[in-house]
């Protein structure tokens, strides 16, 4: 019953939040400017003001208070990443290249590369330079490389013992074995360099891609034969549930959810602009980071991919824009990248909500705030 109640929207809850935000944002706009180094202090001060305002507005103001508590606690962030709150390793990319971060907080720079992604089960890292695709061991040793011009999106799929890599090469998508052998052309399209591609989990056959507003599922073993297709708002990401039963096309304003056979589960219009989304590896639940329309405020919410109506559960809120989201391998923690605060926020969502935060992220990774490419693997 507790789980069912979490999905119920309290009457006038949204309106109460908006009234609170109108009052507080006006006061915040009139504040004396504070130096950049004290930005997190300003956020905490703003949070206290919101709390005071929300408490006198209406009973639904309690929803605002819950979000505010989470913001205030972030001001007590650890000064550095001493450890991860769950098993696994992080893969990051920044101005200096990709980093692998161990659970004990130790980290290693893999070299001068651009994008990076984990192989299945985290055995290797796929990295790119402008004209080179490179497979690395997590310690940085090169296993093989492939020279290709104009590299774009890449995804490494398959099983623990047999894998395939799909990658954009100009206006083409090619597939190559995980050992760097058997490179072959799959298909071409005008907007391939910026279009997302995603292997179905554990599959050597099923590859999803979206170009020109059409989402397609291809059979790679049959030379790229189309299995099904659907029209979608052009997504910036395609994400699967770990069992391959749901595929989500994530655009800036819409989430569209399909089953494995191409049936439409739901289409959810967002209340703002999506920055990122991540599916929990243990459930059919997706987390979305959203910049709310007409405000300087962002939220992270979750909802079930099995429901016809996307009832939302808020996990975290704050001032500014959130970036990458990534779940821990055990599905208990969600890492939220908060670049405006130069913080990582770890949100525990499976029990009583808990927040762990890390400050000064940029200085720990070469002076720039890194992208979070993945959190892998549990075992």
Q: Per-residue DSSP letters for 113-171?
A: -S-EEEPGGGS-EEEEETTEEEEE-TTS-EEEEEE-SSEEEEEEEE-SS-EEEEEEETT
pLDDT band at 7 (very low <50, low <70, confident <90, very high): very low
Give yes or no for residue 323 having a pLDDT over 70. Answer: yes
Give yes or no for residue 68 having a pLDDT over 60. Answer: no
pLDDT band at 378 (very low <50, low <70, confident <90, very high): low
**pLDDT at res. 6:** 39
pLDDT band at 56 (very low <50, low <70, confident <90, very high): very low
**pLDDT at res. 309:** 64
Give yes or no for residue 74 having a pLDDT over 70. Answer: no
**pLDDT at res. 289:** 97
Report field, pTM of the whole predicted structure over 0.85: no
CA separation for the pair 217, 224 (Å, rounded): 9
Query: In 3-state terms, what secondary structure has residue 189?
Result: coil
**pLDDT at res. 15:** 45
pLDDT band at 194 (very low <50, low <70, confident <90, very high): confident
Give yes or no for residue 46 having a pLDDT over 70. Answer: no
**pLDDT at res. 217:** 98
Give yes or no for residue 360 having a pLDDT over 90. Answer: yes
Burial profile 101-134: b = 16 or more Cβ within 10 angstroms, e = fewer: beeeeeeebbbebebbbbbbebbbbbbbbeeebb
**pLDDT at res. 140:** 92
Tokens of 283: 């459930």
**pLDDT at res. 350:** 80
**Domain assignments of the chain as residue spans, ordered by start:** 2-74, 110-269
Query: In 3-state terms, what secondary structure has residue 279?
Result: strand
**pLDDT at res. 30:** 38
CA separation for the pair 43, 45 (Å, rounded): 5
Please report how many Cα atoms fall inside a 13 Å half-sphere around the Cα of residue 80, on the Cβ side: 9
Q: What are the strands of the beta sheet with 272-279, ordered from one edge?
A: 272-279, 285-292, 297-304, 313-319
Tokens of 195: 């279009």
Mean pLDDT across 295-313:
86
pLDDT band at 183 (very low <50, low <70, confident <90, very high): very high
Give yes or no for residue 352 having a pLDDT over 90. Answer: no
**pLDDT at res. 278:** 98
The pLDDT > 90 percentage for the chain reads: 69
> Any bridge partners for residue 301, and if so which?
288, 314
Mean pLDDT of the chain: 83
Phi-psi bin for 288: left (phi > 0), alpha (psi -120 to 50), beta?
beta
CA separation for the pair 225, 61 (Å, rounded): 53
Give yes or no for residue 141 having a pLDDT over 50. Answer: yes
Mean pLDDT across 1-18:
42
Alpha carbon 99 to its chain centroid, in Å, reads: 17
Tokens of 344: 């990582």
Which range is least confidently modeled, 25-29, 71-75, 175-179?
25-29
Query: In 3-state terms, what secondary structure has residue 267?
Result: strand
Tokens of 149: 């011009």
**79 class by beta-carbon count within 10 Å (0-12 exposed, 13-18 middle, 19+ buried):** exposed
The residue with greater pLDDT, 229 or 308, is 229
Provide CB contacts within 8 A for 18, sequence distance 6+.
none
CA distances from residue 316 to 222, 298, 327, 347, 365 in whole angstroms, order as listed = 44, 9, 14, 8, 25
**377 class by beta-carbon count within 10 Å (0-12 exposed, 13-18 middle, 19+ buried):** middle
Tokens of 315: 């996990």
**pLDDT at res. 310:** 60
The pLDDT > 70 percentage for the chain reads: 79
**pLDDT at res. 81:** 97
CA angle centred on 7, ends 6 and 13, rounded to 5°:
90
DSSP per-residue letters across 44-84: HHHHHHHHHHHHHH-TTHHHHHHHHHHHHHHTT-BSS----
Mean pLDDT across 286-307:
93
Cis preceding-peptide flag for 112 (omega within 30 of 0) = no
pLDDT band at 249 (very low <50, low <70, confident <90, very high): very high
**189 class by beta-carbon count within 10 Å (0-12 exposed, 13-18 middle, 19+ buried):** middle
**pLDDT at res. 214:** 94
Does domain 110-269 bear CATH number 2.130.10.10? yes
């Amino acid at each position: 019953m507790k789980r069912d109640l979490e999905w119920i929207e309290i009457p006038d809850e949204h309106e109460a939040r908006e009234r609170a935000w109108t009052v507080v944002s006006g006061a915040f706009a009139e504040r004396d400017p504070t130096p950049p180094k004290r930005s997190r202090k300003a956020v905490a001060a703003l949070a206290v003001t919101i709390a005071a305002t929300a408490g006198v507005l209406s009973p639904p103001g309690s929803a605002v208070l819950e979000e505010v508590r989470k913001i205030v606690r972030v001001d007590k962030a650890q000064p550095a990443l001493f450890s991860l709150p769950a098993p696994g390793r992080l893969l990051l990319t920044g101005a200096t290249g990709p980093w692998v971060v161990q659970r004990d907080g130790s980290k290693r720079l893999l070299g001068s590369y651009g994008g990076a992604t984990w192989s299945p089960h985290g055995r290797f890292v796929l990295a790119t330079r402008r004209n080179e695709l490179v497979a690395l061991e997590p310690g940085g040793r090169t296993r093989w490389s492939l020279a290709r011009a104009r590299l774009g999106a890449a995804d490494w799929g398959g099983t623990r013992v047999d894998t395939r890599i799909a990658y954009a090469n100009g206006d083409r998508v090619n597939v190559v074995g995980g050992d760097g052998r058997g490179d072959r052309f799959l298909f071409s399209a005008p907007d391939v360099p910026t279009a997302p591609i995603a292997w179905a989990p554990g599959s050597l056959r099923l590859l999803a891609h979206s170009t020109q507003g059409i989402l397609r599922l291809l059979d790679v073993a049959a030379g790229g034969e189309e299995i099904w297709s659907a029209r979608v708002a052009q997504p910036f990401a395609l994400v699967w549930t770990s069992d391959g039963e749901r595929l989500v096309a994530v655009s800036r304003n819409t989430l569209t959810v399909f089953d494995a056979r191409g049936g439409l589960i739901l289409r959810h219009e967002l209340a703002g602009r999506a920055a990122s989304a991540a599916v929990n590896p243990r459930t059919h639940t997706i987390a979305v980071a959203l910049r709310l329309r007409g405000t300087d405020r962002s939220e992270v919410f979750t909802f079930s991919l099995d429901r016809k109506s996307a009832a939302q559960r808020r996990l975290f809120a704050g001032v500014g824009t959130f970036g990458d989201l990534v779940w821990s391998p055990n599905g208990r923690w969600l890492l939220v990248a908060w670049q405006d605060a130069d913080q990582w926020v770890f949100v525990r969502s499976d029990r009583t909500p808990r927040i762990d935060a890390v400050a000064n992220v940029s200085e720990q990774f070469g002076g720039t705030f890194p992208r979070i490419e993945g959190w892998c693997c549990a075992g």
